Chains A and B, each alone.
Chain A
């Protein structure tokens, strides 16, 4: 079954404690992306990756890091989380031939709370 898997689904952490949210896709997609969703703001792109070892900033990259060492994985790293990073996070992937968002698949989301 084609899917994007995020872990964990729920996470409560304290300010300053480094954390990683994993994202894995089984569709051999080149393009992967991270979004955060906040009430009334819709989805905002954090980082995206066109392929292995190729990443770029989205609209709200501050406080986040990503890496793309393998095609299937695209972890999101918060080196020093702060309460304003409390949000719902989504990972997405799609093929990059032609229009990259023709068949974007989204993960189930990770609800992060930073206290």
Chain B
């Protein structure tokens, strides 16, 4: 089974500063990677995904993430955050084994708090 590690449980940052939320996963032959965002009292919303191709993927709200196979990482970045980005962010990994559909494994989440 996959394990997903989000290295920071809380990340406080000031508005307009850059931010990076870190995510590492256990090695596998073929993985798909996702970041989800959860705003207070809401469900999860897909932020971005990596399936194949370019290792730099862009998502909604100005977020982007870079897939690094050698380091088994998929860190999320934004060059300038807004107060409205305050939310919990979850990294998730799905793995494929042959023709078997994979399951989705979540990290423990990172609470991003943006201060004015």
Interface residues of A (CB under 8 A from B): 4, 33, 35, 40-45, 48, 50, 58-59, 90, 92, 96, 99-104, 106-109
Contact = CB atoms under 8 A, between A and B. Distances in A.
B67 to A, nearest CB: 15
B52 to A, nearest CB: 10
A6 to B, nearest CB: 9
Interface of B: 1, 4, 6, 9, 32, 34, 41-46, 49, 51, 90, 92, 94, 101-104, 106-109
Interface centre among A99, A101, A103, by most chain B C-beta atoms within 10 angstroms, is: A101
B104 A106 contact: no
A45 B104 contact: yes
B47 to A, nearest CB: 12
A108 B42 contact: yes
Interface centre among A43, A92, A108, A109, by most chain B C-beta atoms within 10 angstroms, is: A43
B43 A109 contact: yes
Given A43-B90, A50-B101, A99-B32, A106 B106 contact: no
A94 B90 CA distance: 18
Top 3 nearest A-B pairs by Cβ distance? A106-B43, A42-B108, A43-B106
Contacts of B92: 101
B109 A104 contact: no
Nearest to B92: A101
